[in-house]
Amino acid sequence: MAKLELYGTGSCPYTEELREWLEWTRREFVEYDIDADAEARERLRSLDSGLLTVPILVEDGRVIQVGWHGRGCVVGSRS
């Protein structure tokens, strides 16, 4: 089974909505709060430097979705 990871922040309502959808559809996933987890933030940057929007859904090390229904929360800069 594919490894699914959800990267987001506790303050982003779209992260919450995507999490709820994943739970509703009974998808197994691991969630990372990039505001609270510096290692997760660096892992995410290594996948695609410059990502500015959460939530981000990663499957087997590949970004498959950015945002939720066309919406997301800005979290950083491209520096």
Domain count, the chain: 1
Residue 38 lies in a domain: yes
d(CA 57, CA 2): 12
**Element housing 6 (H / E):** strand 4-8
Residue 22 lies in a domain: yes
**How confident is residue 47, by pLDDT bands cut at 50, 70 and 90?**
confident
**Element housing 14 (H / E):** helix 13-24
> What residue numbers bound the domain in which 53 lies?
4-74
Whether the model clears a pTM of 0.95, i.e. scores above it, the answer is no
The domain that holds 69 is classified in CATH as 3.40.30.10
Residue 79 lies in a domain: no
Give the pLDDT confidence of 29-43 residue by residue, as tens digits: 999 999 999 999 888
What share of the chain in percent tops pLDDT 70? Answer: 87
Residue 8 lies in a domain: yes
| Mean pLDDT of the residues in the chain | 89
The encoded tokens of residue 53 equal 């929007």
